[in-house]
Chains A and B, each alone.
Chain A
Amino acid sequence: MPNPRVPRVAFGVTILSGIGLLVVYGTGGQPQLEGLLWFYALAGLGVGIIVGANNYLPNEESEEERHPLASSEEMLAAARADFHRADGGDEALDAERRSLLRLLAGAFAAIGVAVVFPIRSLGPHPSDDLRETDFAKGVRLVTVDGAPVKSGQLGVGELLTVFPEGHTRAGDSPTLLIRYDEEEFLPAGGRASWVTDGMVAYSKICTHAACAVGLYQNVTGLLLCPCHQSTFDVNNACTPTFGPATRPLPQLPIAIDSEGFVVAQSDYPEPVGPGYWDRMNNV
């Protein structure tokens, strides 16, 4: 006679845990206790049922024959004949049917192509969006709280995440304003006028996969993207020095306005963020 103790205890645990759950829920709930009681309740059921089945139900092996899945040749031939029931005999009629079928296929294709077009409403034409940010000539650079940045606000080696005034939530506009070390910094060819008062501005959106390039080592002048470890040299036009990124972070030309605030000279001269098929058309 099998030992009934295990399944009995197991189902008992389930009953007690169920009552416990009722009490826990009734008194406002508590995550750890709920998880624990659900564990005991379900484990009691599982253990009780499995051990019970092993003890009280037949456990002998049975044998079942496999029958081949493939059909006999006669069956295949019969199926083929059924399918081609309408064919044969009159050749002119067959030709007529075939041409009608072709027309039917054309009709379905026409509907198929037509229903694709409403998909266009899912989103706007991409290229303008990808090229432009909200920066433009004279737009002030502001912090995340909307405060404009003044010349001289940053000490050497310090940096600030800035946005175009009025657009602090746009996905493509986060920009790094960095006070560089005058002795180390090499302005890129033709960009000597893009910096102002010892400050330079680069896009914060990684050119690899669009993460925010969030880590700055001011001793080495390196910016590091924490997602895939692309590293950019701030003192050398933000060219990538390590990791999968293939292009420098785009530079924003900046100047100081009449009230002493930092402003953009224009939008970014090239698309910010990761590459795409016809990006170079947008440069």
Chain B
Amino acid sequence: MIRGIVRAFDERLGTARMTREVLNKVFPDHWSFLLGEVILYCFIILVATGVYLTLFFDASQQEVLYAGSYVPLQGVQMSRAYASALDITFSVRSGLVVRQVHHWAALLFAASMVTHLLRTFFTAAFRKPRELNWAVGVTLLMLAMVNGFTGYSLVDDQLSGTGLRIGYSIVLSIPFVGPWLSSLLLGGEFPGADIISRLFVLHVMIVPSIITLLLVVHMVILVRQKHTQFPGRGRREGNIIGLRLWPTYAMKAVGVFFLTGAVLALMGGLIQINPIWMFGPFRAADVSSASQPDWYVGWLEGALRLMPAWELRASPFEVPNPFYPSLVLAGGVFLVLYAWPWMEARLTRDHEIHHLLDRPSERPVRTPIGLAAISFFAVLFVAGGDDVIAVWLDMSVNTMVRILQLLAIVLPIVVFLVSRSAIRLRLRKQQEKAEPFCPRVGHSRWEARTLAALVLVFVWFTVTSLSSPSPHVLPETWTAKANAGMSGAQMYEAACAQCHGQNLEGVFGPAIGAGTDSEDMSDTLIQAVVFAGIGKMPPMPGVLTEIQVQEVIAFIRQLQGIG
């Protein structure tokens, strides 16, 4: 029967020849070529989970009184967008897991794009004839960042509102057109009447469509130009050695897709991300401290923090401070990325076609430039969380900022010089030994280690860039009934530690340890605060019973005594 169907198609479309070409396509086997595949698999998972979420999300700024199942926020005025995001989290079947998988997949999407870009850069896979596909890839990275930002801004909680307001200030800072542009984007002055519904259209339709189109273009060009390969036995510019697509390679690719899904399911189910119920609805007068954006925007947040208090003014016009570390910096970064293949060809006078890859360990200029750039972004990224780090290190934020400003300039230079002399030394030693050319089959250990280290660093970035210190406890355990039988320490961990810290040191909320005002507060007063709420602290009558609160207070007293 299948033979009949195949013949029917072939009679009408002549598919046999095309099918043969596809099935016989040769893929060079190197683990670093998987990074690009993972991008595609993340995108498929993002679309699948995203479609499920759109079925329940209500992109409206209309204010409602929350009456859903999350007790601490019942009766609070909020937008329908935030209320429906809470419903997805607490009432929709699998809603919380799907939302978290979607968020983790977005982080992995960006992380695999960046590592794929680094692989392409360090091995010089961007050289002629692949400059165009490099440019398509850079555009995809930009679109992934934009879609990530629009995505987590949709929820309309305190954290995303804060991020959106910073984004608004950046648009507003654009010379000449900023005020008009921001008004047209938001439908008025911040917060604007239409921002959520417009971000929604961008996030679920316009940007994903362009991403889909460009992914297809990227792969069509890839098939047309064929893969690059590492130099090695029998590998020439004029051939390509590897596994044929069918059947082994295709099966392995399908396997990697399922493994990507497996890892994301595990993270989405067990590792909390963006616990929106803790942030409350957006209020212009409030701010959650220790607010960090997702990791791929972290470098811009860091640049905003490190920028000195300086701006261009020519009365009556001004180009405000946030313009430089955001749009000028990002514009410059992407401009350099786009121009790199042509720039390098011009400077090295190398206009030849290349299908064999460079080894990063043998390039004394390109590799150090790449490493210097990584160190620069790393400093900016750290600066994006400087307040949190300053608390860890018990250091003043001001000192931290000064050190990081210095590092942002000095570290890239040091990294460049050190790595350049290391590579030169290595090359000289190789020459002295007059090593006969020893073909290695693509799996150089040094490369594998460097790239593995890079992957680890990015996985680490991803994991540590949780929007909040993660308590690893999901909200289902947050009810008085579920708390029955827990000790004071366990209940403190579940209900209080997220804001006041594991050791009362304070995170979003104030420190309540020894020497703070809380030590002098009576038990009755603390109990009243827990039940009524105060400032940003939500009232928690549904979370803990009176006796449970007394147990928690006893636990806090015990810790204060130690401190």
Contact = CB atoms under 8 A, between A and B. Distances in A.
Interface of A: 25, 29-36, 38-43, 45-50, 52-54, 57-59, 61-66, 69, 119-120, 122-127, 129-130, 144, 161, 163, 169-174, 204-205, 208-212, 214-215, 225-230, 240, 242-246, 273-281
Contacts of A120: 184
Interface of B: 24-26, 29, 93-94, 96-97, 100-101, 129, 162, 165-166, 168-170, 172-180, 182-192, 194, 224-226, 234, 237-244, 247-248, 251-252, 254-259, 261-263, 265-270, 283-291, 304-305, 307-311, 313, 315-322, 325, 355, 386-387, 397-398, 401, 474, 476
A62 B243 contact: yes
Given A43-B258, A172-B190, A226-B288, 11 more contacts: A39-B262, A57-B248, A59-B248, A63-B241, A123-B188, A126-B180, A210-B169, A226-B387, A229-B398, A276-B320, A279-B320
Given A43-B258, A66-B239, A123 B192 contact: yes
A31 B255 contact: no
Given A38-B269, A172-B190, A205-B284, A243 B309 contact: yes
Given A38-B269, A275-B318, A122 B286 contact: no
A31 B265 contact: no
A174 B173 contact: no
Given A29-B93, A59-B248, A215-B289, A65 B317 contact: no
A172 B191 CA distance: 9
Contact of A62 (B241, B261, B288): B241
B321 A280 contact: no
B98 to A, nearest CB: 9
A31 B100 CA distance: 10
Nearest to A176: B285
A277 B176 contact: yes
B128 to A, nearest CB: 10
A227 B166 contact: yes
A57 B248 CA distance: 6
Nearest to A43: B262
A174 B20 CA distance: 67
Given A209-B166, A226-B290, A280-B315, A64 B240 contact: yes
A30 B477 CA distance: 11
B305 A126 contact: no
A36 B267 CA distance: 9
Given A66-B237, A127-B179, A229 B387 contact: yes
Given A29-B93, A59-B243, A53 B237 contact: no
A129 B180 CA distance: 11
A38 B262 contact: yes
Given A34-B94, A209-B166, A246-B309, A47 B259 contact: yes
Given A35-B270, A65-B238, A205-B284, A246 B162 contact: no
Nearest to A28: B93
A273 B311 contact: no
A227 B325 CA distance: 15
A211 B474 contact: no
Nearest to A279: B318
Contacts of B251: 49-50, 52-53, 57
B320 A229 contact: no
A242 B184 contact: no
A31 B96 contact: yes
A170 B189 CA distance: 10
Nearest to A283: B316
Contact of A210 (B166, B186, B252): B166
B188 A129 contact: yes
A280 B316 contact: yes
Nearest to B165: A210
A171 B173 contact: no
Given A30-B476, A34-B97, A144 B285 contact: yes
A49 B255 contact: yes
Given A32-B270, A34-B269, A227-B291, A53 B318 contact: no
Contacts of A58: 247-248
A127 to B, nearest CB: 6
Contacts of A33: 269
Contacts of A123: 183-188, 192
A212 B290 contact: no
Given A61-B241, A276-B320, A280-B318, A229 B397 contact: yes
Most buried by B among A25, A123, A242: A123
By Cβ-Cβ distance, the 5 closest A-B pairs, closest first, are A35-B269, A275-B320, A174-B285, A50-B255, A38-B265
A187 B479 CA distance: 51
A257 to B, nearest CB: 23
A244 B269 contact: no
Contacts of B401: 229, 242-243
A54 to B, nearest CB: 8
Contacts of B244: 62
Interface centre among A33, A41, A66 (most CB of B within 10 A): A66
B170 to A, nearest CB: 7
Nearest to A25: B93
Contact of A277 (B178, B243, B474): B178
A171 B322 CA distance: 19
B189 A171 contact: yes
Contact of A46 (B26, B182, B255, B287): B255
Nearest to A36: B269
A224 B206 CA distance: 38
B434 to A, nearest CB: 30
Contact of A209 (B101, B170, B237): B170
B285 A212 contact: yes
A31 B480 CA distance: 19
A52 B283 CA distance: 55
A43 B267 CA distance: 13
A46 B309 contact: no
Nearest to B285: A174
A130 B316 CA distance: 16
B291 A53 contact: no
A209 B165 contact: yes
A65 B239 contact: yes
A274 B355 CA distance: 50
A129 B178 contact: no
Contacts of B173: 274-276
A62 B249 CA distance: 12
B191 A276 contact: no
15 contacts: A31-B269, A39-B265, A39-B269, A49-B251, A50-B252, A50-B259, A62-B26, A63-B241, A129-B189, A174-B284, A226-B288, A229-B305, A229-B386, A246-B321, A274-B173
B284 A46 contact: no
B159 to A, nearest CB: 11
Contact of B254 (A25, A49, A125, A281): A49
A63 B241 CA distance: 5
B248 A53 contact: yes
Contact of A122 (B187, B190, B257, B397): B187
A43 B401 CA distance: 44
A172 B189 contact: yes
A228 B234 CA distance: 56
A43 B240 contact: no
Contacts of A226: 287-291, 387
